[in-house]
């Protein structure tokens, strides 16, 4: 049963996501809050700068792993045990599975389902399709979903025209897009942007 939507979304763009509806409810059912994805763009219409920036920021081994970065998982477990910090190890594939098919929490049921859907999309979609869906569904601020809406909101032009600096700034807020700001970057966001630009220049 769970395979069916994965097969459908291999070819059909998801019209909405669970998170869109969750945010709509959290907004108090605000009528202008989006409940569907308005600005879907194919991967070949998205700036390669943004693709490189997001991979540098979120999942540098995206094209090498099969959905799970086990080295990152081991490192995260070690940090979580040895310090008070909570470090995640979600790959782009895992984030895509969570955003398209599931809800946002840290419960074991959700994590198990996330692993299953990650396995499915890695085996039934291409890496390029995973990237395209990811860039079009992820949250980029309050009421802002997908790279096209974010680019239009923050830079007044399409995602295809994003420069390396703009792309790195957009990628730098992804861990906390409703707290970290593209329009008024906090110092740690600017530092993260600089690191991402450095990684992009190495590719």
Q: d(Cα 135, Cα 41) in Å, to the nearest integer? A: 9
| Average pLDDT value for the chain | 89
- Above 90 in pLDDT, residue 46? yes
Which pLDDT does position 203 carry in this prediction? 61
Q: From CA 110, how far away is CA 108, in angstroms rounded?
A: 5
Please say whether the beta carbons of 27 and 53 come within 8 A. no
What's residue 106's pLDDT? 73
Can you tell me the distance from the alpha carbon of 70 to that of 89, in angstroms, rounded to the nearest whole number? 9
- Matching residue, tokens 């995206």: 62
* pLDDT of 105 above 80: no
Residue 59: which residues within 8 A CB-CB, separation 6 or more?
69, 91, 92, 93
Q: Is the pLDDT of residue 193 over 90?
A: yes
DSSP assignments along 23-87, one per residue: HHHHTTS-TTS-SS------GGGS-HHHHHHHHHHH-TTTTTSSS--HHHHHHHHHHHHHSS---
Q: What is the pLDDT of residue 101?
A: 95
Share of residues in the chain with pLDDT > 70 (%): 89
Long-range contacts of 106-112 (CB under 8 A, 24+ apart): none
Place of tokens 């990237």: 131
- In Å, the largest CA–CA distance within the chain is 46
All domains in the chain, ordered by first residue: 8-202 (1.10.3810.10)
Q: Say if pTM beats, i.e. exceeds, 0.75.
A: yes
In this predicted model, what pLDDT tens digit does every residue of 110-160 receive, in sequence order? 889 999 999 999 999 999 999 999 999 999 999 899 999 999 999 999 999
Pairing of strands 144-145, 139-141: antiparallel
Q: What is the mean pLDDT of residues 175-185?
A: 94
In this prediction, residues 70-95 reach a mean pLDDT of 67
């Amino acid at each position: 049963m769970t395979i069916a939507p994965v097969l459908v979304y291999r070819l059909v763009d998801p019209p909405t996501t669970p998170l869109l509806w969750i945010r709509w409810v959290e907004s108090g059912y605000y009528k202008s809050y989006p409940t569907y994805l308005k600005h879907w763009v194919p991967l070949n219409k998205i700036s390669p700068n943004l693709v490189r920036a997001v991979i540098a920021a979120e999942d540098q081994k995206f094209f090498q792993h099969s959905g799970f970065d086990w080295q990152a998982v081991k490192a995260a477990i070690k940090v979580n045990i040895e310090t008070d910090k909570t470090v995640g190890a979600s790959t782009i594939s895992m984030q895509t599975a969570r955003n398209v098919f599931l809800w946002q929490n840290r419960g074991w049921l959700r994590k198990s389902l996330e692993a299953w859907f990650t396995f499915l999309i890695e085996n039934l979609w291409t890496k390029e399709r995973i990237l395209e869906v990811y860039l079009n569904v992820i949250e980029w601020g309050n009421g802002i979903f997908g790279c096209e809406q974010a680019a239009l909101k923050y830079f007044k032009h399409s995602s295809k025209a994003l420069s390396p600096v703009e792309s790195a700034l957009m990628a730098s807020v992804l861990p906390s897009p409703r707290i970290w700001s593209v329009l008024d970057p906090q110092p740690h966001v600017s530092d993260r942007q600089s690191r991402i630009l450095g990684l992009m220049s190495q590719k």
